[in-house]
Copies of this chain bind each other. A is one copy, B any other.
Amino acid sequence: MSKQESLWTRSRQAVYAEITSVAMKLFLEQGFEQTTIDQIAATAAISRRSFFRYFGTKEDIVLGDLASQGILMRDTLEAIPLSVAPWEAIREALRRVGGLTQEPDVMLKVAKMMYETPSLRARSIEKHLQWQELLVPNIRLRLGLDADDRRDPAADAIVSSAIACLDVAGQIWTRTGGTADLADLYDRAVLAVRAPDDRTA
């Protein structure tokens, strides 16, 4: 059962890769919205119907990683001792997962596309919101709350803000044409948010 499984699992993964590769190429060439699913399916030599058996939506081709990365973030976060404070723990989890890494090549173009295409941006936010549900329980514990205390806004606020900072960092990163350092931008974002309301910046 396990050998055979890995057989068509492998072929399935090959199809995934093929679709993704083909689609990404088309997206970067003609833009996301200008590329139809029929076109992707035709180029990948599968039927339109089969495409939807691999990807639920067109956006999932670009944002597929985000869902799994959320799980990864949760697991990583849970591996960090509860004695570590929330912001620090999130920052460390991001570092370990590699959410602060960037390879200027293709990534910049993809990022630009994500920030400029409304439907894509919306979906990416949506996926990030799912991170919230995944990470909040652990942050509650770090705040000394019950893991399922759904009436205290503290943990949700911290996670949500952290994700907002990550998003902003990515945004600025694309604005600078990928020249800035993503991790640094994130740190500066968090710093700005959490700095006391005194003079200077």
Q: Name the B residues within 8 Å of A153 (CB-CB).
A: 165, 168-169, 172, 185, 188-189, 192
Q: Name the B residues within 8 Å of A143 (CB-CB).
A: 192, 201
Are A160 and B164 CB-contacts (below 8 A) given A85-B197, A125-B122, A197-B87?
A: yes
**How many copies are assembled?**
2
A172 to B136, CA, bound (A): 13
Question: Which of B88, B122, B167, B193 contacts A197 (CB under 8 A)?
Answer: B88
A36 → chain B, closest Cβ, in Å? 20
Chain A 25-43 interface residues, beta-carbon cutoff 8 Å to B: none
Q: Name the B residues within 8 Å of A129 (CB-CB).
A: 121, 125
Cβ contact within 8 Å between A150 and B121: no
Nearest residue (CB) in B for A125 is B125
A167 → chain B, closest Cβ, in Å? 7
Q: Name the B residues within 8 Å of A160 (CB-CB).
A: 161, 164-165, 167-168
Cβ contact within 8 Å between A144 and B201: yes
